[in-house]
Amino acid sequence: MFVFFILPKVIINNAVIGAYIGLKRMEQLHDLRVSRIIRLPSPGALKEKLPVGERVAETVAAGRHDVEDILTGKDARLLVIVGPCSIHDVIAAREYARRLSLLRTELQHDLCIMMRVYFEKPRTTIGWKGFINDPHLNDTYDIEHGLFHARQLLLEINEMGVPAATEFLDPISPQYVADLVSWAAIGARTIESQTHRQMASGLSMPVGFKNSTDGRLDVAVDAIHSAMHPHSFLGIDQEGLSSVITTKGNQFGHLVLRGGKKPNYDAQSISSAESWLEKAGLQKSLLVDCSHANSGKKHARQIEVWESILKQKVDGNKSIVGVMIESNLYCGNQPFPEDPGKLKYGVSITDECLSWDETERMLREGAAVVHNLVK
């Protein structure tokens, strides 16, 4: 009897010890460089809290339709995507949107104006990654807060009748906000990424692909081709569960010229881009970024790019269908990181921006120039 009772204890103890050793081994393999994991609400849960109303749905859908018509030549207006380099202050963004709403209505027969609403910022090395990632500007990375207030701001902007444009950087964030976006970009640092090409193939709005940071067009052309085709890849569904996402392909991909080692908005560069698209069998539709390498990141030089584009349009260019302008309430930018309480209101904390007054004057003058071209 003594032996009968001892053996199970030995067996049980060995099993416990074996399980403990196995667990310790797993700990040596799993999340070694992860300091924490915070579970977020699902996209569906956030949308229940911040649902789309009728006015918002009309703005988003109409904005997407307008861009599609401009890309295919059915709408002769010039697409203008204008707004802050990045959103860091929702109060200033609302004020900008209110002003833009009035100007959009005033110039609607000549320009199709959308607001640049960028919540994610790609970094070459390190730095502030945008409002969704760090909404409090203090390295607390309150992403749940960022997603909530990003969606809320998009609802408010669309409610004003202003369609929104953004760049998608993280492949998960579109599930939370893409239903409120009328135009999207894949940036110069991510167009070679298979993940972003696959994501673009399933987005519900037209997508602009920027040329690479060194100015190459071939990678952007390849990205447009890739996104036109169906893909299957890992993602999350509206409940936040890991899923296989299968897409239909996006037929409204187009090239965005943002400059590289040198600007590429001049007539010769535009002609070269047209040739690239024609050889690839793609629609010759170009959007020119007036900022970034085309302006040397100097806000005032965006006006030179704008004037060159207008002249090329007057001279008969048909391939340039739109422009992007970085603009804020006040011009320039300000140093960051900085104590958020010391930041100047309405001034960019990333790239330099034109002031509202400069922007308003530019767009009014531009509308007058293209007026006869739209008829």
Beta carbons of 78 and 321 less than 8 angstroms apart? yes
The residue-averaged pLDDT of 229-250 equals 97
- Report how far residue 97's alpha carbon sits from residue 84's, in angstroms, rounded to the nearest whole number: 10
Better pLDDT: 127 or 229: 229
Residue 227 scores a pLDDT above 80: yes
- What does the pLDDT average to over 109-130? 91
pLDDT at 8 over 60: no
Q: Is pLDDT above 70 for 22?
A: no
Does residue 6 register a pLDDT over 90?
Answer: no
Mean of pLDDT values over 242-263? 97
The separation between CA 116 and the C-alpha centre of its own chain, rounded to angstroms, equals 9
Model pLDDT, residue 208: 98
At 374 the pLDDT is: 80
Measured between alpha carbons, how far is 208 from 211 in angstroms, rounded to an integer? 10
Per-residue confidence band for 125, with pLDDT thresholds at 50, 70 and 90: confident
**Structure letter (DSSP) for residue 156:** H
244 within 8 A of 305, measured Cβ to Cβ: no
**Which two three-digit tokens encode residue 70?**
């401009």
Amino acid type, 161: G
- At 338 the pLDDT is 77
Q: Where are the alpha helices (DSSP H) in the chain?
A: 2-27, 43-49, 54-71, 90-106, 143-159, 174-177, 194-202, 218-227, 267-279, 302-314, 356-374
Task: Dump the DSSP string for 181-194.
Answer: -SEEEE-TTTTT-H
The mean pLDDT value of the chain amounts to 94
- Quick one: tokens of 22? 């196995």
pLDDT of residue 183: 98
User: What pLDDT score does 26 carry?
Assistant: 67
What the chain holds in terms of domains, given with CATH numbers, is 44-374 (3.20.20.70)
Q: What is the pTM of this model?
A: 0.92
The CA distance from 189 to 74, in Å, is 31
Look at 7 and 177; give whichever has higher pLDDT.
177
- Pick the closest to residue 281 from 257, 258, 309, 253 (CA basis): 253
